[in-house]
């Protein structure tokens, strides 16, 4: 299994082997440069591909032939779009999971309460969702997670058990912070790219083409295009005889701490 520990062991062995070879055959720095480049590429892959489970285990979908999927929304709550999405989900009787940013929760406490009251699940998505979150020390990351955790408990009385890293980026510090919070890391296996695709027809086409049994779909309740496309997509899901189930049921994983 390719993970951070095994990769380090492998590259240490390769490095020492190169040192020995170079000692007897003559020094050629290009081999060491090549080794560093390959090592860097593997780390990049492990950091940015959450389903690789390179640094820590992430729950990103279910291997099944059953036509079930789960919806997840990141980055909210949004005063403008989250209520619209909640109305659509209620109309279609569809459960979802919202990975919330603490800073946005502070500005929209009543919306977080609506999400909880409607029976949707809620996970931690940091407090600030900074572009540099993954470069922070583990202690600082954990402080952010705890801020959002405390706010969630204050509003709903619930203690979150799930964490989704910003942009799906992981590294040893993220692992340490997640472990410190006692969280499970939640990924996805169908990325909508609704933060980049602004044409509703193109976004809907992408979602239709990628749907598969056991999918955890990544959407954002901060995007106008998402609220525009969601009714048509849910209608398509129904026509294709898929069922949208709660994420805890799909993953068989508790969303909240006891």
- The per-residue pLDDT for 74 is 98
The model's pTM: 0.94
Range from 6-10, 18-22, 78-82, 197-201 carrying the lowest mean pLDDT: 18-22
- Catalytically annotated residue among 28, 74, 87, 125: 74
Compute the distance between CA of residue 197 and CA of residue 194 in angstroms, rounded to an integer.
5
* Interhelix angle 200-210/224-239, nearest 10 degrees: 40
pLDDT at residue number 129:
96
Catalytic pick among 120, 125, 129, 220: 220
For residue range 139-161, what is the model confidence (pLDDT) as tens digits? 999 999 999 999 999 999 999 99
Instruction: Examine the residue annotation and report whether 153 is marked as an active-site residue of this protein.
Output: no
The answer on pLDDT for 1 being more than 80 is no
What region, left, alpha or beta, does residue 256 occupy, with left being phi > 0 and alpha being psi -120 to 50 degrees?
A: beta
Please check whether residue 199 is in contact with residue 59, taking contact to mean a CB–CB distance below 8 angstroms: no
Are the C-beta atoms of 99 and 73 separated by less than 8 Å?
A: yes
Question: Is CATH 3.20.20.370 the right assignment for the domain spanning 58-251?
Answer: yes
Q: Given this model, what pLDDT does residue 23 score? A: 81
- pLDDT tens for residues 20-74? 988 888 778 998 999 999 999 999 999 999 999 999 999 999 999 999 999 999 9
pLDDT band at 120 (very low <50, low <70, confident <90, very high): very high
Contact 214, 241 (CB under 8 A): no
82-92 vs 109-117: helix crossing angle, rounded to 10: 10
| 194 catalytic per annotation | no
């Amino acid at each position: 299994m390719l993970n951070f520990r095994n990769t380090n062991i492998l590259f240490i062995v390769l490095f020492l082997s190169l040192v020995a070879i170079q000692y007897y055959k003559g020094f050629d720095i290009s081999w060491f440069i090549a080794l560093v480049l390959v090592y860097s590429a593997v780390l990049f892959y492990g950091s940015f591909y959450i389903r690789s489970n390179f640094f820590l285990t992430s729950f990103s979908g279910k291997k099944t032939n059953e036509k079930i999927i789960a919806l997840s929304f990141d980055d909210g709550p949004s005063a403008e779009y989250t209520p619209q999405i909640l109305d659509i989900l209620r109309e279609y009787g569809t459960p979802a999971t919202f990975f919330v940013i603490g800073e946005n929760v502070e500005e929209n406490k009543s919306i977080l309460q609506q999400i909880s009251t409607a029976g949707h699940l809620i996970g931690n998505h940091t407090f600030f969702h900074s572009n540099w979150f993954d470069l922070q020390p583990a202690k600082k990351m954990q402080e952010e997670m705890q801020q959002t955790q405390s706010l969630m408990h204050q509003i709903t009385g619930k203690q979150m058990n799930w964490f989704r890293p910003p942009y799906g980026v992981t590294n040893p510090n993220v692992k340490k912070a997640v472990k410190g919070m006692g969280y499970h890391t939640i990924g996805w296996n169908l990325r909508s790219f609704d933060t980049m695709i602004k044409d509703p027809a193109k976004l809907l086409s992408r979602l239709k083409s990628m749907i598969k049994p056991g999918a955890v779909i990544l959407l954002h309740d901060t995007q106008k295009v998402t609220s525009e496309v969601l009714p048509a997509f849910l209608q398509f899901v129904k026509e294709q005889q898929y069922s949208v189930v709660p994420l805890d049921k799909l993953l068989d994983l508790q969303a909240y701490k006891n």
